Amino acid sequence: MEFLFVIFLFSLYFFGFSKTIQWIKSFFVSTVKTAKDINDSGFDTKKIKENFKDEFYEMGPLEVRCVPKKFPVKDGTNFDGYQIQVRGIMNTLANTIDASAVISLFDYTDSKYDPITTSLDFWQEKNSSAFQSLTHIGSLGYLVGYRKWIDLDKLIPDVLSGKRSGKRKIQVYVRIIPKETEQVELINLGLHQKELNILSSSSTLVEVNLKEKGYEESREEQVLARALMVKFAVFVAFTDGKFDAKEGKIIQKWISKQIDIAYDDLKDQLKEALNSSFKEAFKLAEKDKLTVSKLITEFKNLTSYATNLSLMEFLIEVVGADSKVSKEEMKVINLIATNLDIDQAQVKSLSEKSFLNMKTDLETSSSLEVMLGIDEKWTKEEILAHLNKEFAKWNGRIQALENEDEKNKAQKMLDAIARARKKYGK
């Protein structure tokens, strides 16, 4: 400043007052223009503000944010997702506590706390499939926290399911709680009981694209799939030309069980759907208008392999209800299994289980072949070779079994094999 004053006096002495003032104005205009040019040249003032905020951030309440990030996997591919980060005070209680951070996710698209679920065990709550990330933080003193953003866990939309699929608003809710297991168990489906001891908490919203089918959509499809299973059962029951009362009882028993095990808010809807499906299928079958190809097409679009196996088990139980399993009935079941990509070995295993529970000796030739898995297209040599394998299998089992009822069932199969050997020439 003293140096500038000396220059000012020097200028006054040699150039006069007016020239000196003109020179000062020119200097300041040039300086302002230079500063403006620097700013207009692309200098990121917004970033400066953000950095300034981070640098001089005075630690306040807990904050959470989601930063877009690609997460690499072992095969070289990447998962698109978000890094969940937190900063701020983590313990607002006036004592030191061994703490954990718990992240819960909600589908908040409809402004409701609908849980986000995942099929990955390590990201699930103990007693539900709702998402939960649990991280042990350690000992936290009063008003202890983080001044800078720290990574807490990942958010990967590809492994999450919400109420529905597509673009959804996800609420990321972070709680800091005591480490005790009893405290964590107070959180269910993302929501906590009032007894939960929360040291601090914060949340943020992020819009993501959920590819997995939503559980509300799945529930709707669950009802449709079971309604189709009833129609399949009616079709199979009519395969031999008549609908046996015992087969009808099996179907009704299955319907009652599905209603009993359903969630309370689904029971009435499921009851109406299954009973209506039974009546509709029965009327169509009586007129020979119930087609299995249409049922297969509709069913394939709704179900998983596990549901397909449940269908097979149900159908085999239906055809075995009258203790007379015909070749025609098993042909239909095998056709359905093939179209649903079910392994024939699985069908045979389910068939054996059902046949062994039948109250009959299965002496009819049609039941004999079906029970033993004999294909009518086989040669006599192929049939006998197959029977030898079956004998070895069941003979080995009966030697190892201790339960009397199980032994009787195994003996039942050995008796059937003996009858088949006699029938086919040995």
Cα–Cα distance, 291 to 297 (Å, whole number): 11
More confident residue, 395 or 406: 395
Q: What is the pLDDT of residues 129-168, one digit of tens each?
A: 899 999 999 999 999 999 999 999 999 998 899 999 999 9
Task: Report residue 354's pLDDT band, with 50, 70 and 90 as the boundaries.
Answer: low
Q: Are strands 114-115 and 97-107 parallel, antiparallel or unpaired?
A: antiparallel
More confident residue, 334 or 90: 90
The ranges assigned to domains in the chain are 63-211, 216-361, 374-426
Phi, psi for 186 (deg, rounded to 5): -80, -5
Could you tell me which CATH number the domain at 63-211 has?
2.60.40
**Helices 264-286 and 245-261: angle between axes, nearest 10 degrees:** 160
Cα–Cα distance, 278 to 282 (Å, whole number): 6
Given a cut of 60, whether residue 24 has pLDDT beyond it is no
Q: What is the pLDDT of residues 224-266, one digit of tens each?
A: 999 999 999 999 999 877 888 889 999 999 999 989 887 777 8
Percent of the chain that is helix, strand, coil (3-state, to 5): 50, 20, 25
Instruction: Tell me the pLDDT of the chain averaged across its residues.
Output: 80
For residue 365, the model assigns a pLDDT of: 43
For residue 16, the model assigns a pLDDT of: 55
Cα–Cα distance, 399 to 390 (Å, whole number): 14
Given a cut of 50, whether residue 403 has pLDDT beyond it is yes
For residue 333, the model assigns a pLDDT of: 84
Answer positive or negative: Cα dihedral of 67, 73, 76, 80. Answer: negative
Could you tell me which CATH number the domain at 216-361 has?
1.10.3680
Which of 42-56, 219-233, 272-286, 290-304 shows the lowest mean pLDDT across its residues?
A: 42-56
Query: H/E element holding 363?
Result: none
Prediction pTM value: 0.51
